[in-house]
């Protein structure tokens, strides 16, 4: 499925994603009213249902949602102070956008032309049978000195080289949000509440951080809530 | 000409039948021990006999040389005989990626992605698998760069890369461009004031 | 007949052009969705056009089927076109494979693969096709072994195999006393495990 076909049922809008985009671009719908988080949730749920991930479609979705986010952040944030780092003025921004659109348009149109050529060209079929071997055998008389013998010695030298063992010290185990969500849900299934430090105090910082993210996500979805009576005090997580 | 008895256009037809790749006029002249002008004349004669609808074969100029192909009218029978499925048409993503490679070659994946605005990994690998593009070295930054293949020219019926139309012809007119720019500008200003 | 517009003899000609083996009347009839009698008539018509001396191609009946062949008059020109050694620049894979064969000959495919750390089928077949290497028997284990050809020596301007340059100047550890073959195999195995 294309990201544009994603069906949305939001507070401010209900219908396919591409219609939402069109309305936003035509400024018939204010982005300020649209909860972009809900779109992401709808898409993630759609992926869940679908089971397998279409990379092309997922990429398209990411690009679209990223541009919406960028647009919305500009809407919501105050205009930069005069002496802030120089952002592009509206004129330059329009020019830059225009240049990129024109470049893309050019190749999209050329693509249409190529697709047409291909449609015609693929109806011609070519012979692929090799000529009889007796006609093919290269004749010694026609052969000239074209290759440098040193290239052989060089290639051989390369094969005598053994690579140093790659340095893997920088590779760190990855922590996935999905897996942390799984761990949290499992904990809450077993008891209805737990203490964050008891459960995750011994994990490394990255794991702890991603677990907090997962908690935020669960809070948003209404799966869990937590309380902390004082700063740096114990965090009590409860299922809802 | 050494094969004294046979007219040059017959010899040329035989050579094009045997060769698996397009053959240039110069190569034909050398093989036939004839001048390029003589080969040109023979090609003209052959092209008349082997024009579309006249016989089962047609003479085509593609990929920098001459080659024989079957008349499109025989396509479906040929696919039945060879049990070959029809080659699928290009997807939009593939066609766009291919046009960028064709016009800008050598070009790297990141460049393609920048122009298309989306990652183009899967289009690049499909085009590569279908033999339409190939690696042609690395850019200054170490990214693999791509170019089109002779097969591309053959399948698209191009005599060479210079037979691609000037892409500027696809650009909008100056009026359209001005209007587009004004619309963008207005949108930007409205955004700035909200 | 499904390709309604085209006369059957044109379609038959196209099919015989594409097929790598002789095609029987029955197979032609099936592919053309025509009766065998119709195909017979088409073959008759085609045979008239493609009889010796009429064009560059001739229709032949061989091995229970029909096939197109070139007119014998074109043979010497074909030899000049096709027997020219093809010498595009060697790819890295081809240069490595060729250097292994040149310095270690005779050498088998599995040995080449072990030294290069990757299967080298396509490099071996290209070098073989271009006439730079040839089969020279079988190893103790039954694998085909390769050696370089006289064409190889000619294309590299070598007076003989003993004129191959000493690899010492490109050797990272020239002090290593072990035999070249053993060192290459050892290095290849190390590369494979990293």
ipTM over 0.85: no
Q: Residues A93-118: pLDDT tens digits?
A: 667 777 777 888 888 888 888 888 88
- Do A149 and C164 meet the contact criterion of CB atoms below 8 Å apart? yes
Inspect the interface and report whether the beta carbons of B89 and A120 lie closer than 8 Å.
no
Report chain A residues whose CB lies below 8 A from the CB of C98: 152, 155
Average the pLDDT over A191-198 and give the result.
85
Inspect the interface and report whether the beta carbons of C3 and B55 lie closer than 8 Å.
no
Q: Residues C154-185: pLDDT tens digits?
A: 999 999 899 999 888 888 888 888 888 999 98
Residue with tokens 């070098």: C127
**Residue C14: which of B6, B15, B74 has the nearest Cβ?**
B74
Report whether pLDDT(A131) > 60. yes
Within A175-234, residue ranges assigned H as helices are 177-190, 196-200, 205-220
What does the pLDDT read at residue A120?
85
In Å, how far is C193's CA from the nearest CA of chain A? Answer: 9
Question: Any bridge partners for residue B70, and if so which?
Answer: B57
- Percent pLDDT > 90 in chain A is 0
What does the pLDDT read at residue C100?
95
Report whether pLDDT(C19) > 70. yes
- At residue A222 the predicted structure's pLDDT band, cuts being 50, 70 and 90, is confident
Distances (CA, A) of C50 to A208, C14, C67, C125, C141: 81, 13, 11, 35, 51
Report chain C residues whose CB lies below 8 A from the CB of B6: 53, 56, 71, 73-74
Report chain A residues whose CB lies below 8 A from the CB of B165: 110, 113
What does the pLDDT read at residue C1?
43
Residue C143's nearest CA partner among C123, C118, C124 is C124
- Do C126 and C97 meet the contact criterion of CB atoms below 8 Å apart? no
- Does residue B106 have a cis bond before it (omega within 30 degrees)? yes
Inspect the interface and report whether the beta carbons of A113 and B172 lie closer than 8 Å.
no
What does the pLDDT read at residue C142?
85
pTM of the full predicted structure?
A: 0.59
**Residue C155: which of A146, A150, A165 has the nearest Cβ?**
A146
Please tell me which of A211-220, C81-90, C163-172 the model is most confident about, judged by mean pLDDT: C163-172
Report whether pLDDT(C187) > 80. yes
Enumerate residues 145 to 164 of chain C having a beta carbon within 8 A of any beta carbon in chain A.
Answer: 150-151, 154-158, 163-164
Q: State the best of C56, C67, C82, C98 to mutate against chain A, taking most chain A CBs within 10 Å.
A: C82
Kindly state whether C125 is in contact with chain A, defined as any CB-CB distance less than 8 angstroms.
no
What does the pLDDT read at residue B1?
45
Q: How far apart are CA C172 and CA A158, in angstroms?
A: 8
Angle at A84 between CA A78 and CA A89, to 5 degrees: 75
C-alpha R_g of chain C: 25
Q: How far apart are CA C13 and CA C45, in angstroms?
A: 10
Report whether pLDDT(A26) > 90. no
**Residue C157: which of A135, A138, A145 has the nearest Cβ?**
A145
What does the pLDDT read at residue B3?
44
Report whether pLDDT(A180) > 80. yes
**Residue B170: which of A110, A127, A128 has the nearest Cβ?**
A110
Report chain B residues whose CB lies below 8 A from the CB of A108: 96, 99
Report chain A residues whose CB lies below 8 A from the CB of B189: 90
What does the pLDDT read at residue A136?
73
What are the two backbone dihedrals, phi and then psi, of residue A226, each rounded to the nearest 5 degrees? -150, 160
Q: How far apart are CA B25 and CA B44, in angstroms?
A: 12
Given a contact as 3+ CB pairs under 8 Å, which chains touch B? A, C
C-alpha R_g of chain A: 30
Inspect the interface and report whether the beta carbons of C194 and A151 lie closer than 8 Å.
no
Kindly state whether B69 is in contact with chain A, defined as any CB-CB distance less than 8 angstroms.
yes
Report whether pLDDT(A88) > 50. yes
Orientation of helix B25-32 relative to helix B36-49, angle to 10°: 110
- Percent pLDDT > 70 in chain A is 78
Inspect the interface and report whether the beta carbons of C73 and B6 lie closer than 8 Å.
yes
What does the pLDDT read at residue A143?
81
Kindly state whether C178 is in contact with chain A, defined as any CB-CB distance less than 8 angstroms.
no
Q: Residues C141-155: pLDDT tens digits?
A: 888 999 999 999 999
Report whether pLDDT(C107) > 90. yes
Q: How far apart are CA C105 and CA C135, in angstroms?
A: 10
Burial-class residue C23 by CB neighbours within 10 Å (0-12, 13-18, 19+): buried
Q: How far apart are CA A236 and CA A193, in angstroms?
A: 7
Report whether pLDDT(A82) > 80. no
The CB density around residue A144, as the number of other CB atoms within 10 Å, is 9
- At residue A176 the predicted structure's pLDDT band, cuts being 50, 70 and 90, is confident
**Residue B6: which of C10, C74, C80 has the nearest Cβ?**
C74
Inspect the interface and report whether the beta carbons of B99 and A114 lie closer than 8 Å.
yes
- Do A211 and A185 meet the contact criterion of CB atoms below 8 Å apart? no
Burial-class residue B31 by CB neighbours within 10 Å (0-12, 13-18, 19+): buried
- At residue A19 the predicted structure's pLDDT band, cuts being 50, 70 and 90, is confident
Q: Tell me which of C4 and A206 has the higher pLDDT.
A: A206
What does the pLDDT read at residue A27?
65
- Contacting B with CB below 8 Å, chain C residues are 2-3, 5-6, 9-15, 17-19, 23, 27-28, 30-33, 49, 53, 55-57, 68, 70-71, 73-78, 80-82
What does the pLDDT read at residue B57?
95
Inspect the interface and report whether the beta carbons of B167 and A107 lie closer than 8 Å.
yes
In Å, how far is A122's CA from the nearest CA of chain C? Answer: 14
- At residue A45 the predicted structure's pLDDT band, cuts being 50, 70 and 90, is confident
Given a contact as 3+ CB pairs under 8 Å, which chains touch A? B, C
Q: What average pLDDT does the structure give for chain C?
A: 88
- Do A206 and A176 meet the contact criterion of CB atoms below 8 Å apart? no
* Residues contacting residue B113 through CB under 8 Å, at least 6 positions apart: B119, B120
Q: How many CB pairs under 8 A join A and B?
A: 132
**Residue B18: which of C32, C76, C82 has the nearest Cβ?**
C82
What are the two backbone dihedrals, phi and then psi, of residue C148, each rounded to the nearest 5 degrees? -80, 165
**Residue A90: which of B121, B155, B185 has the nearest Cβ?**
B185
- What residues in chain B have per-residue pLDDT under 50? 1-3, 194
What does the pLDDT read at residue C25?
95
Closest chain B residue to the Cα of C49, Cα to Cα: B55
Kindly state whether B109 is in contact with chain A, defined as any CB-CB distance less than 8 angstroms.
no
Average the pLDDT over A87-98 and give the result.
68
- Report the helix count and the strand count for chain B, using DSSP H and E: 9, 5
What does the pLDDT read at residue A161?
83
What does the pLDDT read at residue B58?
95
Report chain B residues whose CB lies below 8 A from the CB of C32: 77
In Å, how far is A175's CA from the nearest CA of chain B? Answer: 24
What does the pLDDT read at residue C96?
92
């Amino acid at each position: 499925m294309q990201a544009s076909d994603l069906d949305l049922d939001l507070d401010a809008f209900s219908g396919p994603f591409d219609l939402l985009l069109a309305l936003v671009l035509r400024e018939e719908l204010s982005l300020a009213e649209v909860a972009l988080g809900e779109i992401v949730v709808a898409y993630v749920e759609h992926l869940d249902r679908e089971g397998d991930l279409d990379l092309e479609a997922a990429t398209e979705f990411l690009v679209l949602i990223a541009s919406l986010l960028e647009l919305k952040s500009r809407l919501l944030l105050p205009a930069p102070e005069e002496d802030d780092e120089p952002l592009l003025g509206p004129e330059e921004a329009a020019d830059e956008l225009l240049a990129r659109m024109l470049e893309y348009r050019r190749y999209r149109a050329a693509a249409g032309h190529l697709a047409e050529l291909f449609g015609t060209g693929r109806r011609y079929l070519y012979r692929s049978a090799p000529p009889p071997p007796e006609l093919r055998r290269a004749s010694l008389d026609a052969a000239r000195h074209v290759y440098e013998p040193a290239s052989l010695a060089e290639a051989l030298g390369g094969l005598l080289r053994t690579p140093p063992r790659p340095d893997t010290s920088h590779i760190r185990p990855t922590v996935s949000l999905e897996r942390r969500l799984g761990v949290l849900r499992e904990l809450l299934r077993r008891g209805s509440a737990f203490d964050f430090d008891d459960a995750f105090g011994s994990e490394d910082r990255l794991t702890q951080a991603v677990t907090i993210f997962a908690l935020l996500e669960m809070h948003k979805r209404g799966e869990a809530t937590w309380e902390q009576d004082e700063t740096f005090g114990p965090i009590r997580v409860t299922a809802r | 000409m050494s094969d004294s008895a046979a007219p040059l256009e017959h010899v040329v037809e035989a050579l094009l039948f045997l060769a698996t790749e397009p053959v240039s006029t110069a190569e034909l002249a050398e093989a036939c021990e004839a001048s390029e002008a003589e080969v040109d004349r023979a090609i003209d004669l052959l092209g008349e006999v082997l024009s579309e609808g006249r016989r089962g074969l047609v003479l085509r100029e593609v990929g920098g040389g001459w080659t024989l192909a079957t008349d499109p009218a025989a396509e479906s029978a040929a696919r039945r005989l060879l049990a070959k499925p029809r080659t699928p048409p290009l997807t939009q993503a593939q066609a766009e990626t291919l046009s960028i490679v064709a016009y800008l070659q050598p070009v790297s994946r990141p460049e393609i992605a920048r122009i298309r605005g989306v990652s183009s990994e899967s289009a690049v690998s499909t085009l590569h698998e279908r033999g339409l593009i190939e690696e042609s070295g690395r850019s200054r930054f170490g990214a693999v760069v791509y170019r089109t293949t002779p097969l591309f020219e053959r399948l698209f019926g191009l005599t060479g890369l210079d037979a691609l139309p000037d892409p500027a012809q696809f650009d909008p007119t100056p009026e359209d461009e001005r209007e587009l720019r004004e619309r963008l500008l207005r949108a930007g200003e409205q955004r700035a004031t909200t």
